[in-house]
Amino acid sequence: MPTLVVLFLVAGWPLLRTLWFSFTDTSLSDLKGGQFVGVDNFFYLFEDSTWRQSFKNTVIFAAISVSLETIFGLIIALVLNAHFKGRGWLRTAVLIPWAIPTIISAKMWGWILHDVYGVLNEILIFCHIIKEPLAWTASPKLAMVSVVLVDVWKTTPFMALLLLAGLQLLPQECFEAARVDGIHPLRVFWRVTLPLLKPAITVAVIFRSLDALRIFDLIYVLTSGSVETVSMSVYARQQLFDFQSVGIGSAAATLLFFIISLATLGFLMTGGLKQDK
């Protein structure tokens, strides 16, 4: 099959080369001249405070943003699933953040969050929520908040669509029975909708978590990869191209690859166990 050959060529081979590079001291200017150095690069990473920071950042980012996206996505999916006039408008509006390229949404939000001229500061001051403008993307405390905010804005629609598809597959009989019995809608939600929707939620959360763990472009553009927000992908690319050290960069990339593989396995195991019950 030609597809398999192409896939091996474009994905398999570079992956193997990256793996090899991670055990060498190759530099960017001389790709052929690397010497085998064993696991030195990995020890370097574990001792580098920036890498540890990037690990922490990525995990925190993924956990917070995926949880928020699940909650908001579920709310939007429930609203979209209700029958009312103008539902089409809502679905159209929800697709807009999804369609906007990540780089562009990062730039748009960069402008909205601008510390001096940004409209968000203006609105918050007008509503007396804050007293003076905040440096959303530049200050160490708020930079991560901004990244999470933009990511949630950008990817909640995707989550909502996945959950909506799950909602529409649910058997209608259960809801009719609940309505006939006169059970309160909130109780129906907790006791009927949520348990039935669990498989769909699991799949959506897995997809989004794996995606969030490899985040690169948003952080690269919004906060220029500052130490407070640096993710594992951003760190690896910095090592590779800004510091020209292909060995360490490849080691960081390989490590990320293994972390994501482990996460996938973990998700599959827990997800599979739950389905057996």
Partner 1 sequence: MRSKFYTPFLYLLSALIIIVCVFPFYWAIVSSLKTGSDLFKVEFWPAHLTFSNFIEIFKEQPFGHNILNSVFVAVGTVSISLMLAITASYALGRVRFRGRSALLLSILSISMFPQVAILSGMFELIRTLGLYNNLLGLIFSYMTFTLPFTTWILTTFMKQLPKEIEEAAIIDGASTLTICTKIFLPLLWPALVTTGLLAFIAAWNEFLYALTLTVESQSRTIPVAIALMTGASEFELPWGKIMAASVVVTLPLIVLVLIFQRRIVSGLTAGAVKG
Residues 156-175 binding partner 1 (CB under 8 A) are: 157-158, 161-162, 164-166, 169
Q: How far is the CB of 267 from partner 1 (least distance, A)?
A: 11
Does position 214 bind partner 1 by CB under 8 A? yes
Does position 212 bind partner 1 by CB under 8 A? no
Cα angle for residues 106, 109, 114 (degrees, 5° grid):
120
Return the closest-CA partner of residue 193 out of 174, 177, 165, 176. 174
Q: How far is the CB of 276 from partner 1 (least distance, A)?
A: 18
Q: How far is the CB of 61 from partner 1 (least distance, A)?
A: 14
Q: How far is the CB of 273 from partner 1 (least distance, A)?
A: 18
Does position 15 bind partner 1 by CB under 8 A? yes
Does position 265 bind partner 1 by CB under 8 A? no
Instruction: Considering only residues 106 through 125, tell me which ones interact with partner 1, judged by CB under 8 A.
Output: 106-109, 111-112, 114, 116-117, 119, 122
Tell me the longest C-alpha to C-alpha distance in the chain.
75
Six-digit token string for 180: 């006939």
Return d(Cα 26, Cα 23) in angstroms, integer. Answer: 9
Of the candidate residues 33, 140, 185, 266, the single one contacting partner 1 (CB under 8 A)? 185
Of 144 and 212, CB closest to partner 1: 212
Name the segment binding partner 1 (CB under 8 A); options: 48-56, 137-145, 190-198, 247-255: 247-255
Of the candidate residues 18, 41, 65, 193, the single one contacting partner 1 (CB under 8 A)? 18
Q: How far is the CB of 123 from partner 1 (least distance, A)?
A: 8
Q: How far is the CB of 227 from partner 1 (least distance, A)?
A: 18
Six-digit token string for 208: 């989004």
Secondary structure letter of residue 115 according to DSSP: T
Return d(Cα 267, Cα 277) in angstroms, integer. Answer: 16
With both helix axes pointing from N to C terminus, report the angle between 87-99 and 140-169 in degrees, rounded to the nearest 10: 130
Per-residue CA distances from 137 to 109, 131, 146, 148 (Å): 10, 18, 6, 11
Name the segment binding partner 1 (CB under 8 A); options: 49-57, 62-70, 140-148, 205-213: 205-213
Of 97 and 227, CB closest to partner 1: 97
Return d(Cα 105, Cα 107) in angstroms, integer. Answer: 5
Does position 147 bind partner 1 by CB under 8 A? no
Q: DSSP alpha helices (H): ranges in the chain?
A: 2-7, 13-21, 40-47, 49-81, 87-99, 102-112, 119-126, 140-169, 172-180, 185-188, 194-213, 217-222, 232-237, 246-276
Return d(Cα 177, Cα 162) in angstroms, integer. Answer: 25
Contact track, partner 1, 55-94, x by CB under 8 A: --------------------xx--x--xxx-xx-xxxxxx
Contact track, partner 1, 24-53, x by CB under 8 A: -------x----------------------
